[in-house]
C-alpha cells in the first residue's frame, strides 16, 4: 500500500543525503553516514547488500543469461590481474574467473579484454607485432627479403580460448 511505501522511503539513505541534504532527524543522518563510510571501504555496499533493487537484479544473475558475453583469456588471473584490480564490485577472482553472483554486468572487464593498451596478453602481442613490422621495414629498406612471420602465442579475440568462464 501507499503508506507502507512511504514508511520504507523514510529509511532510504539517498533521500537523506540528496533530497534532504542531511536536514533530518539524527538517526537517519547517522544511518546515511554509516552507509557512506561503508561505501568508502566497500564500493557499492548499499547496492550489493541492502538495496532491494540490487537483490532483485541479482536474481537474473543466478540464471547466468549473459555468461557467454563475459570473455576471458587463459592469461586472465595468471599472470594478469588488471580486470580483477579494476572491477569495482570485486566480482573477478584472483584466478580470473568472474563470479556471476557478484557481477553487475558493467562490462568494464570487457573493455579491458579488447584494449591492446590495457590487456597484458594484447599488449605483448601488439609489441611483438610492432617489433616484427620494424624488422620487416628495416629489411625492406636494406633491400633484403622480408623475414618470415612468427607464430602467435596469444589467441586473437573471437577465437576459442581455453579459459575459465563465470561460475
151: in domain: no
Q: What is the pLDDT of residues 10-34, one digit of tens each?
A: 777 877 777 788 888 888 888 888 9
Final residue before a domain boundary, out of 61, 76, 96: 61
Residues 69 and 136 in one domain: yes
Residues 137 and 71 in one domain: yes
154: in domain: no
Lowest mean pLDDT among 42-56, 64-78, 150-164: 150-164
159: in domain: no
pLDDT at 160: 46
| d(C-alpha 167, C-alpha 164), whole Å | 8
130, three cell numbers: 610492432
| d(C-alpha 115, C-alpha 112), whole Å | 5
Residues 31 and 81 in one domain: no
Q: How many helices (H) and strands (E) does the chain have?
A: 8, 0
pTM comes to 0.58
| d(C-alpha 51, C-alpha 58), whole Å | 11
| d(C-alpha 38, C-alpha 40), whole Å | 5
21: in domain: yes
Q: What is the pLDDT of residues 123-167, one digit of tens each?
A: 999 999 999 999 888 888 888 877 776 655 545 444 444 444 444
Domain with 56 in it: 2-61
Q: What is the pLDDT of residues 76-127, one digit of tens each?
A: 888 889 999 999 888 899 998 988 777 877 889 999 999 999 999 999 999 9
166: in domain: no
125: in domain: yes
34, three cell numbers: 554509516
Residues 70 and 124 in one domain: yes
82, three cell numbers: 588488471
Residues 91 and 43 in one domain: no
Residues 57 and 68 in one domain: no
Residues 125 and 82 in one domain: yes
| d(C-alpha 141, C-alpha 1), whole Å | 80
Angle subtended at Cα 33 by Cα 50 and Cα 12, rounded to the nearest 5 degrees? 45
Residues 42 and 82 in one domain: no
| d(C-alpha 44, C-alpha 59), whole Å | 17
| d(C-alpha 46, C-alpha 35), whole Å | 7
Number of domains in the chain: 2
Nearest alpha-carbon partner for 8 in 28, 24, 33: 28
Amino acid at each position: 500500500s501507499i503508506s507502507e511505501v512511504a514508511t520504507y522511503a523514510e529509511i532510504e539513505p539517498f533521500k537523506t543525503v540528496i533530497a534532504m541534504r542531511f536536514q533530518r532527524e539524527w538517526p537517519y543522518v547517522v544511518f546515511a553516514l554509516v552507509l557512506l563510510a561503508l561505501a568508502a571501504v566497500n564500493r557499492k555496499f548499499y547496492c550489493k547488500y541492502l538495496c532491494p533493487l540490487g537483490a532483485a537484479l541479482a536474481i537474473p544473475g543466478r540464471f547466468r543469461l549473459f555468461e557467454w558475453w563475459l570473455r576471458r583469456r587463459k592469461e586472465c588471473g595468471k599472470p594478469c590481474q588488471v580486470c580483477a584490480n579494476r572491477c569495482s564490485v570485486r566480482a573477478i577472482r584472483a584466478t580470473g574467473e568472474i563470479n556471476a553472483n557478484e557481477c553487475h554486468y558493467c562490462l568494464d572487464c570487457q573493455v579491458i579484454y579488447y584494449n591492446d593498451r590495457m590487456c597484458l596478453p594484447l599488449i605483448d602481442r601488439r609489441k611483438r607485432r610492432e617489433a616484427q613490422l620494424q624488422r620487416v621495414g628495416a629489411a625492406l629498406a636494406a633491400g633484403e627479403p622480408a623475414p618470415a612471420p612468427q607464430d602467435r602465442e596469444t589467441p586473437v579475440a573471437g577465437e576459442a580460448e581455453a579459459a575459465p568462464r563465470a561460475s
